[in-house]
Structure 1
Amino acid sequence: MMYDLIVVGSGPGGLKAATRAATAGLKTALVEKSDIGGTCLNWGCIPTKMFLGATAASPLLHTQVKAKTVTGSLDFSLPSLVQKKDRFIKGTRSAAEKQLISLGVDILKGTAAFSSPTAITVTNDEGSTEVTFKKLIIATGSMPSAFPGLEPDGDCVLNSSHVLTLTEAPESLIIVGAGAIGLEMGDFFSRLGTKITIVEALPNLAPSEDPDVGDTFRKILKREKWGIRTGEKVQSLKTVDGNAVLTFESGETLTADKALMAAGRTPASQELNAAAAGIECVGAGWITTDDHLLAAENIYAIGDVNGRTLLAHAADHQACYAVDHASGKTTAAYESGPMPACIYGHTEVMRVGPNTAELQKAGHTVETSTAMLVANSIAQSYGSTQGFVKVLWVENKVHGIVAIGHGVSHLVTGATIMVKQQWSLKDVHSIIWAHPTLDEALEMALIAPRKPA
């Protein structure tokens, strides 16, 4: 069968692409080898935020306990949380599938592999079927990395998918990787009483963020009694006698009930037989794309698999562009604009635009202005005053914004607009900032004195 557009993968990018294409009147098929929704819905963004949301009261109430304004205790039921998460995900999958069908999208269950530059073979338990296409979008995403000697075994050494199925909180948990996954999962399990030790090979926590973010995280997590080991490389991580045992390159070992391997992602491109379509891959299998997200003639690669930005909303944005380009609605090169990113939990991180090092590498002279959350009335009312908002300026224009602290993810859309429009101080004074709000911390950072970065 010939399709105007085939989408391979049903994560955020794949779902958006299939929906947009069908709405535009294209004969569309969506290929998915597993569950509709991809990593984000089933094993990533959504279940982790459900866990964090369901337990969000815990750190806030413990802050009030320390202030002697509250007494009592909280007991969370992890089995109930898992059941709630599973019900929600199942319902969301079902709703997404029904919407696709209502739009006329053919859902092809199975693994896709290119058989030529204009055809794929879809294989499942019932056999193989070849389908042809005029255009195709690869949206297969990524999966947890497995480094030699550190492979998750599903017993005591877990990956980010395994850990979401636990029905009993471990007494102790080693987390390898201090990025978003490691920090968010550590936050959640610490709320359940688990003793957390986080290990990062690079010098800073949240190593992809501003160094001041990592320093603030360190101070906060030390107060919360986390074990923190940075700048140390891991030699092995294994299940030994019913425990997770981590061995550093120095020979020192750590032991815990469980360990979470949260160090990176790898592209899910290995099964595509990409070479048959003339598609080039680099490194672990990241698909090379041009300025129009094309990996080959009439074949696009969007989202994690192209290695540009491993974020669900990046895939969503690229999906809209790819469908519009495929249908002739645009001929312009793809531009993402400033990319927003967040780390969630009791202590959150919000970042929009390039960081200081990236701006300086591009030849810019950077100034910064900062406001501390301790001066914000909303942060004070929640008893969560650690953190800051920092603005990066180039020639008196806003080029980046970063923040860390309780609730700062709620600043991200406003910050994205400011960076995209490259606000000046005049723009800051042109709007009314509501009081009392956390937004006022962003306002204070924008009008604060600047200093060289």
Structure 2
Amino acid sequence: MAAKSFDMIVIGAGPGGYVAAIRGAQLGLNVAIVEREHMGGICLNWGCIPTKALLRSAEVFHLMHRAKEFGLKADGIGYDLDAVVQRSRGVAKQLSGGIGHLMKKNKITTFMGEATLPKKGTVSVKTDKGTEELTSKAIVLATGARARELPGLEADGDLVWTYKHALMPKRMPKKLLVIGSGAIGIEFASFFNTLGADTTVVEVMDRVLPVEDAEISAFAKKSFVKQGMKIMEKSTVKKLDRAKGKVTAHIEAGGKTETMEFDTVISAVGIVGNVENLGLEALGVKIDRTHVVTDEYCRTGVDGLYAIGDIAGAPWLAHKASHEGVMVAELIAGKHPHPIKPNSIAGCTYCHPQVASVGLTEAKAKEAGHEVKVGRFPFIGNGKAIALGEAEGMIKTVFDAKTGELLGAHMVGAEVTELIQGYVVGRSLETTEGELMETVFPHPTLSEMMHEAVLDAYGRALHI
């Protein structure tokens, strides 16, 4: 069978791959995309989107319990876990189907199957009907990543879960252990804790949400503990003894090991890139700790082969993958895009309270040799936050004392995942404190706190 030739072939249809394909098609390229499982990848099917749907249910449930505060009455409050999960799956399905529609609309040829790269410029796809041979001068790897499994802590889907099992729980955990307090771990801890699970989070680093600014981590931890979570920092789960209906975890902290019993364990200890069985090594692609090594333009060093998204390393965020996809499609089409600055990519965690940040933490800014000015503003000083009944939270800004450059912004509280973008735009426009101070923020909004946190860095806050 003759090989089919394309201007660009994308392997993987997650938020990196499908966006790369769309941008390529917009630029007039003849594009093929290969996907082995679900259009939309992990993000739409097993990650960002369905978890947000679950967390929204938990948030509404939490608010129902607070009805009295708002002068409302709600009796017999309860939940149906199956219905909560069903809603989440429905949301995922709707969006996943939408991706198929976008491929058709943009005249992108879709192949459902397993891809390998037998030689440079060639992709072999094993489909239900046999093997298709595709050729192109430009191939984009967007194969994503999967949950990291630690020896002895492997998931079994019954007592020990990965994020996939946690998204479609067979039962409601009564006593839950979450291993890892990054975004995935803390979001599931937040969801199950809100629905009534007795939740313990174990984190190997010295604080929860270890990539966040230390003050924000401390604030979030206080909120989690207040909600009944048990947080164990600088702790390691050494092994799990599995028995019928229960798991005994051996947890080491400060040189001592204690055992604790749980009925469910969620392992969220990071991810590994999907780099196997593609034929990358034979092509001469450099792989470092399960991630493809690339330059700032996502080039692999093998002519015409690019890698984007999770497979190309941190930060492991869908929006980073999409942006890289656009950049690579533009490169392939002969344009001159700017490389992505990882420091200007925001991270968002949808636990309760939400956490969002961009740029350098205060500690990292000092480490990098900056003299800093730091501003803070609490939610309790904001009219909209009090009216919403969400007076717990804070916004923190970090500026370079000499130049006024906004080095970083860090937030914890209601809706901060929506607010952070204001600072992201500010950073991409290379804003200084002067412009931010002169910006008029609408009232009453939560965004006014962003203004106040800037003013506070310069001793000019008005409402504290």
Interval containing the TM-score (normalised by the shorter chain):
over 0.9
CA distance in 2, matches of 1:125, 1:64: 53
Is 2:200 the partner of 1:197?
yes
* Residue 64 of structure 1: how far off its partner (Å): 5.0
Is residue 434 of structure 1 aligned with residue 437 of structure 2?
no
Deviation at 1:123, TM superposition (A): 1.9
| Contact 1:32–1:109 (Cα < 8 Å) also in 2 | yes
Q: C-alpha displacement at 1:419, in angstroms?
A: 2.3
Q: Which amino acid aligns with 2:299?
A: L
2:419 corresponding residue in structure 1: 411
TM-score if structure 2 supplies the norm length? 0.92
SS for the counterpart of 2:146 is strand
Paired residue type of 1:115: P
Tell me, in whole angstroms, the C-alpha distance in 1 between the residues paired with 2:59 and 2:155: 28
User: What is the rounded CA distance, in whole Å, between the counterparts of 2:422 and 2:456 in structure 1?
Assistant: 18
Alpha-carbon distance in structure 1 between the residues aligned to 2:398 and 2:341: 21
Counterpart in the other structure of 1:282: 288
Shift in Å, 1:379: 1.9
CA distance 1:92–1:346, change in 2 (3 Å)? same
Alignment CA distance shift 1:238-1:91 (3 Å): farther
How far the C-alpha of 1:410 sits from its partner, in A, is 1.9
Where does residue 25 of structure 2 map in the other structure?
22
> Structure 1 residue aligned with 2:275, among 254, 262, 269?
269
Alignment of 1:50-65 (within 5 A): 50-63=53-66, 65=68
* Cα separation, 2, equivalents of 1:259 and 1:368: 39
Aligned match of 2:408? 400
Question: CA 1:145–1:448 in 2, change beyond 3 Å: closer, same or farther?
Answer: same
In 2 relative to 1, CA 133–178 (structure 1 residues): closer, same or farther, beyond 3 Å?
A: same
Tell me, yes or no, if the aligned pair for 1:114 and 1:276 is still in contact at 8 Å: no
In 2, Cα distance between the equivalents of 1:335 and 1:297? Answer: 23
1:220-369 alignment to 2 at 5 Å?
220-249=223-252, 250-283=256-289, 285-295=290-300, 296-330=302-336, 333-335=339-341, 338-369=344-375
Change (3 A) 1:434 1:333: closer
Instruction: Report the equivalent of 1:182.
Output: 185
Give the deviation of 1:428 after TM superposition: 2.5
The CA deviation at 1:336 is 5.2
Structure 2 CA distance for aligned equivalents of residues 203 and 73 of structure 1: 41
The 3-state SS of whatever aligns with 1:371 is strand
* Residues 397, 457 of structure 2: 8 Å contact kept: no
Secondary structure (helix, strand or coil) at the match of 1:161 reads helix
Separation in 1, partners of 2:68, 2:265: 30
Structure 1, residues 64-115: CA drift from partner, whole Å, max 9, x if none?
Answer: 5579875634212111122222233223222211221232211111111111
More displaced stretch, 419-428 vs 61-70:
61-70
Q: 1:238, CA displacement in angstroms?
A: 4.7
Q: Which amino acid aligns with 1:372?
A: P
- The alpha carbon displacement at 1:333 in A equals 4.4
Task: Tell me, yes or no, if structure 1 residue 448 matches structure 2 residue 456.
Answer: yes
The share of aligned pairs that are identical, in percent, is 29
Query: TM-score normalized by structure 1?
Result: 0.94
Confirm whether residue 421 of structure 1 aligns to residue 429 of structure 2: yes
Post-superposition CA distance 1:198-249 (Å, at most 9, x none) = 1111110111101111211221111111111111111113532222332124
The answer as to whether partners of 2:36 and 2:114 remain within 8 angstroms in 1 is: yes
Aligned length: 450
Q: State the alpha-carbon separation in 2 of the partners of residues 404 and 323 from structure 1.
A: 35
The SS at the match of 1:237 is: strand
Q: Structure 1 418/331 Cα, relative in aligned 2: closer, same or farther at 3 Å?
A: closer
Q: Residues 362-410 of structure 1: CA distance to partner in whole angstroms, max 9, x if unpaired?
A: 2222221111111111222233322210000002221111011122112
Please give the secondary structure, in 1, of the residue aligned with 2:117.
strand
Select between 195-204 and 241-250 the one with higher mean Cα deviation: 241-250
C-alpha distance in 1 between matches for 2:320 and 2:265: 30
Q: 1:119 aligned to 2:119? A: no
Structure 2: runs of 5 or more not aligned:
460-464
Q: How many angstroms apart in 2 are the aligned matches of 1:421 and 1:274?
A: 38
Distance 2:211 2:350 in 1: 15
Aligned 1:107-186 pairs, distance under 5 A: 107-186=110-189
Structure 1: stretches of 5+ with no match in the other structure: none
Q: Which whole-Å CA distance do the structure 1 matches of 2:215 and 2:247 have between them? A: 32
2-structure distance, mates of 1:331, 1:315: 15
Deviation at 1:337, TM superposition (A): 6.1
How far apart, in 1, do the equivalents of 2:244 and 2:222 lie? 34
Partners of 2:87 and 2:66 in 1: CA distance: 27
1:74 paired with 2:80, answer no
User: Partner amino acid for 1:291?
Assistant: E
